[in-house]
Each structure stands twice: as C-alpha cells, then as structure tokens.
C-alpha cells in the first residue's frame, strides 16, 4: 500500500491511518490530525500572514502503555516532513554534563537533510546508476573502459595520431557484460570496489556541541581540506551497485541547495515529539538533580517560544516548529511545569487508561497485532499457531488483572502474557513442524496460572 500524498492527508484520513495501528484514544488522534493538517493549511497562506501563524503545540497526558509513543511513531511514517522523537530525560541544563536541548534542533535538521537528499537523489538516479554501472564494470573487467583517444592521460590534446585505448574486442566484451549486469545474471559475483570515506570520524571526535553552537563545524572543514579516503571493500554486485549509486548521486547534487532546502523545511514544517516531559517537571522546593531538571525546562522554553539555533547547515529558527510533548505524570502533574512552558502547550489531551475490552481489540485489530506476529514467527517453523476468540479474551483478562493488582504498564503487559503463553511452543517449534497448536482459554490459563503469583512474590524478593 502506497503512502498517501500530503494533499490527501485530511484529518479524517490521518485518524483512519492511525486507527490501523493504535486502538482507541480518539481525542489524541484528532488533536494530532488537526495539528498536522494546519501545517498544510499554513503553507497556503499569503507570506505576510503565514509568518504570523504559529503552531499550537500539544501536550499528551496519560499513563504508560496507552499509545502516546505509538501515535508519534506512526505519524513519523505517515507525513513527509522532518520529524524527530526525543526523550526529555536525555538532556541536561547548560553547564551540566550531557546533551543540551539545542541538539534537538540539530537532530531535526539532520532528519530534514536525509529527507531532502533522498528526494533529490531520485532526480539524478538515472545518471548515478549509469556511473555506478561503469564502476562495477571496471571492477569486473579492468582496463576495458574506452577513453577519448584525442586526449592523453592528463586530459591534454595529443600531438600525434590517436591510438584507441581500448581494443574493439574489449569494448564488445564490456557491452555484453553490461547487458548481463542489467539482466541480473551477475548478482552472485563478488567485486572489489573503492568506497569513499569522508572526514566524519574525526569530525565527530572533535566536533563538540559547543563548537557547533559557535558556528564551527570541524567535520565539514576536514572534508573540504582534502579528498575523502578510499577503502577497498569486497561485496556482491547488487550491494556494490546500491552503494555506488548513492555515492554517484551525492556527487551530482548541489550540496548548498540541498542544505538550504533542508533548513527551510525544518523551520517551516518540522515536528518534534518530546516524550517523558513529566520526568523533568521538578517541584519548586526540590534540590539536587531536580535543579537540573527545572533547568531543562528553562532551556526548552526558548526553543518552544521561538529562537535561532546554530547548526552545521546554517542558523535555524524554531518559531514554526511543532512540538508534541507527552508524559505519564504519575508523580508530578502538568501544573508542576514552569507556567511559561505550560502556556506554550495550549492543547492538552488526556489519554484514557486501557480496559480489558481495549486489550482484546489490541490483540486482534491492528495491522501489527501481537497474535499475528507470533503466528507469523512460528509459521517460519511450519507450525500453525491459532488463537481462538476465548483464548484472546483470556489473554486480555490476565493482562488486565496483572495491571490492576501490580504496576500498570498498559498494553506492554500483553507482550509479557503472550510470551509466557507461547514460550513452551516456541521452544519446541522445530520438533512440531507440520502441526497445529490451538491457543484457547484453557491453554492460556495453564500457561499463565503462575504468572500473577510470580509477580506477587517478586515484590518481596530482591
């Protein structure tokens, strides 16, 4: 199934696409769908009005395992816009050891660069493939590439009569080999190709965030100081073609134009999903590590309000970046966030805890439902794993009971219950080839009867 175009991503279509993977949480889906569509609407406004329309950031509040992160994952695969998902706990206040929040914007620009580069490669793919084929043919048949006989090896005109650099029979052999290459007859051959390696390794060692913030990009400087190193690698012909096509396409791209477009997209259509925001919501009287947590909030505030961040591809403004934050807020509350930061997330959506009926739907309805995954995995061993309706309901009941009596981890509990249920079958699968295993309610009860007891005992055992 092809991904829908940007113009076709109406709010209803976005919710429909999310319904294929996420059960329930209609309010969260609608809020995200409207925010995504507003990005499309804003780009169709007059330039003067477009600059005045800022995104309405969203705060998703709900217990763990109810679908907050899954919504973000599916949105990332659905839209054609720069998107990054980050955890707030990975960042520290400026002055502490760790990543500073401005690296979020740099990651967003890199995601935008990858997106624009992939789209730009399509336009030059034909030329890049021809050049890559020539390099593979050079490896398969060295010395067979014809050259211009009117030029010497250094590119200057010859004084004497030209002599062909490749014999006619060599050119014919190369032409026949090219036909076999395009027909796939050489896919099992190994070739030695020279792969270019840029100066990224040294750039990553010396390219500290502080230097990048000051406008110094050592990786780019090292790359411009000299040609990239070349390393000979042995690989199959299809893999060699893939690697060489990417290299040849990059040579044909206008790097400055790609960087400029990537920065523009990051600024105008970029989306940041900020997970675990509740973990940095420290109380006003807290001390120790909580000081750094509140500092993260202070550092996040300029990004969400709108500021300019220096990146290796140029300065990036964040006024029009959409921020979607999420958190369980079990210990803290949204009101524990800084008032200024709260105000920058005007749309607040409460996600509902999952019920036993939701668990049944999660096991059966999504395209990537767990029971379908386990059936497919054991199908690789020629074992037919069948889940009956009462078996699915029993799996949901056990998961809901475990969540109610112990820590509520939402839909993640289903993976624990299912793993316990099919563990023995998965272990014995090689010897069960050609048989069918039916998972009904009795089967689930037998395999999970000790699960709740084991979890209860685990509270007292170190």
Q: Which residues pair with 233 in a beta bridge?
A: 193
Check whether 235 has a pLDDT greater than 70. Answer: yes
Check whether 161 has a pLDDT greater than 50. Answer: no
pLDDT at residue number 282 = 64
Which phi-psi region, left, alpha or beta, contains residue 276 (left: φ > 0; alpha: ψ -120 to 50)? left
Tens of pLDDT, residues 209-227: 445 444 445 555 555 555 5
Question: Cα–Cα distance between 379 and 425 in angstroms, integer?
Answer: 12
The dihedral of CA 107, 113, 114, 119: what is its sign? positive
The residue-averaged pLDDT of 242-263 equals 86
Q: What angle do CA 129, 258, 194 make, to 5 degrees?
A: 40
Domain ranges of the chain: 11-117+262-350, 125-144+164-252, 356-453
Pairing of strands 83-87, 271-275: parallel
Counting Cβ atoms within 10 Å, is residue 430 exposed (0-12), middle (13-18) or buried (19+)?
exposed
Pairing of strands 314-317, 308-311: antiparallel
Angle between helices 356-364 and 412-428 (to 10 degrees): 50
The dihedral of CA 211, 215, 217, 218: what is its sign? negative
Tens of pLDDT, residues 128-148: 888 888 887 877 777 656 555
Q: What does each C-alpha distance from 117 to 77, 129, 219 come to in angstroms? A: 17, 16, 18
More confident residue, 391 or 462: 391
Dihedrals φ, ψ of 456, to 5°?
Answer: -65, -40
Question: Cα–Cα distance between 235 and 240 in angstroms, integer?
Answer: 6
Question: Cα–Cα distance between 423 and 425 in angstroms, integer?
Answer: 6
Check whether 258 has a pLDDT greater than 70. Answer: yes
pLDDT at residue number 143 = 62
- For the chain, the helix, strand and coil percentages under 3-state DSSP, each to the nearest 5: 55, 15, 30
pLDDT at residue number 190 = 80
Q: Torsion over CA of 394, 395, 397 and 403, rounded to 10 degrees? A: 160
- Coil, helix or strand at residue 194: strand
Question: Cα–Cα distance between 435 and 428 in angstroms, integer?
Answer: 11
Angle between helices 237-252 and 102-123 (to 10 degrees): 100
What single-letter DSSP state applies at residue 352? Answer: P
Question: Cα–Cα distance between 332 and 350 in angstroms, integer?
Answer: 15
Q: 295 CB contacts (<8 Å, ≥6 apart)?
A: 92, 93, 94, 95, 96
Domain over 356-453 is classified CATH 3.30.70.3450? no
The candidate with the shortest Cα–Cα distance to 396, out of 423, 365, 426, is: 365
Can you give the pTM of this predicted structure?
0.74
pLDDT at residue number 228 = 56
Check whether 283 has a pLDDT greater than 60. Answer: no
Check whether 162 has a pLDDT greater than 60. Answer: no
- Coil, helix or strand at residue 169: helix
- Coil, helix or strand at residue 247: helix
What single-letter DSSP state applies at residue 184? Answer: T
Tens of pLDDT, residues 84-99: 988 888 887 665 666 7
Sheet holding 322-327, edge to edge: 83-87, 271-275, 322-327, 58-61, 347-350
Q: Which residues pair with 94 in a beta bridge?
A: 96
The candidate with the shortest Cα–Cα distance to 62, out of 219, 323, 276, is: 276
Distance of CA 405 to the CA centre of its chain: 35
The residue-averaged pLDDT of 413-435 equals 89
DSSP H helical ranges for 349-460: 356-364, 370-379, 389-405, 412-428, 441-448, 451-458
pLDDT at residue number 107 = 92
How many CA atoms within 13 Å lie on the side-chain side of 11? Answer: 14
Counting Cβ atoms within 10 Å, is residue 91 exposed (0-12), middle (13-18) or buried (19+)?
buried
Check whether 110 has a pLDDT greater than 90. Answer: yes
Q: 32 CB contacts (<8 Å, ≥6 apart)?
A: 14, 18, 58, 71, 75, 324
Task: Using pLDDT thresholds of 50, 70 and 90, give the confidence band for residue 165.
Answer: very low
Long-range CB pairs of 391-394, under 8 A, 24+ apart, other chains included: 391/438, 391/439, 391/440, 391/441, 391/443, 391/444, 392/360, 392/363, 392/364, 393/360, 393/441, 394/440, 394/441, 394/444, 394/445
What kind of fold does domain 11-117+262-350 have according to CATH?
Rossmann fold (3.40.50)
pLDDT at residue number 158 = 47
pLDDT at residue number 223 = 53
Containing 223, the helix (H) or strand (E) segment is helix 218-225
Question: Cα–Cα distance between 14 and 301 in angstroms, integer?
Answer: 29
Pairing of strands 436-439, 384-387: parallel
């Amino acid at each position: 199934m092809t991904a829908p175009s940007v113009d076709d991503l109406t709010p209803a279509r976005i919710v429909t696409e999310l319904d294929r993977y996420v059960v329930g949480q209609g309010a969260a889906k609608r809020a995200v769908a409207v925010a995504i569509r507003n990005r499309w609407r804003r780009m169709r406004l007059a330039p003067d009005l477009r600059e005045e329309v800022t995104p309405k950031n969203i705060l998703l509040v709900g217990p763990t395992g109810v679908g907050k992160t899954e919504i973000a994952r599916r949105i990332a695969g659905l839209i054609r816009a720069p998107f990054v998902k980050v955890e707030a706990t990975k960042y520290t206040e400026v002055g502490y050891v760790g990543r500073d929040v401005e690296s979020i914007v740099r990651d967003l620009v890199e995601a935008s660069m990858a997106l624009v580069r992939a789209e730009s490669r399509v336009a030059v793919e034909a030329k890049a493939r021809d050049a890559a084929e020539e390099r593979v043919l050079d490896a398969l048949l060295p010395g067979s590439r014809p050259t211009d006989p009117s030029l010497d090896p250094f590119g200057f005109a010859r004084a004497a009569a030209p002599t062909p650099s490749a014999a006619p029979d060599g050119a014919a052999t190369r032409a026949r080999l090219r036909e076999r290459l395009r027909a796939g007859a050489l896919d099992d051959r190994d070739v030695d190709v020279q792969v270019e390696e840029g100066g990224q390794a040294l750039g990553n060692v010396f390219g500290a965030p502080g230097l990048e913030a000051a406008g110094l990009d050592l990786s780019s400087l090292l790359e411009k100081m000299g040609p990239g190193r070349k390393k000979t690698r042995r690989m199959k012909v299809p893999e060699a073609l893939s690697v060489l096509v990417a290299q040849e396409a990059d040579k044909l791209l206008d790097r400055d134009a790609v960087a400029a477009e990537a920065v523009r997209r990051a600024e105008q259509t970029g989306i940041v999903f900020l997970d675990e925001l509740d973990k940095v919501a420290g109380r006003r009287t807290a001390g120790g590590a909580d000081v750094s947590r509140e500092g993260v909030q202070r550092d996040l505030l300029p990004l969400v309000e709108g500021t300019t961040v220096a990146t290796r591809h140029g300065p990036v403004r964040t006024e029009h970046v959409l921020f979607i934050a999420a958190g369980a807020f079990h210990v803290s509350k949204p009101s524990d966030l800084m008032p200024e930061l709260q105000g920058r997330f005007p749309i607040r959506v409460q996600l509902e805890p999952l019920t036993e009926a939701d668990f049944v739907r999660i096991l059966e309805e999504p395209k990537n439902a767990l029971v379908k995954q386990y059936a497919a995995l054991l199908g690789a061993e020629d074992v037919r794993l069948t889940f009956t309706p009462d078996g699915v309901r029993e799996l949901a009941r056990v998961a809901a009971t475990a969540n109610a009596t112990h820590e509520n981890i939402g839909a993640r509990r289903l993976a624990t219950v299912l793993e316990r249920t099919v563990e023995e079958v998965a272990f014995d699968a090689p010897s069960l080839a050609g048989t069918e295993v039916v998972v009904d309610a009795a089967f689930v009860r037998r395999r999970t009867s000790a699960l709740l007891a084991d979890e209860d005992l685990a509270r007292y055992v170190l």
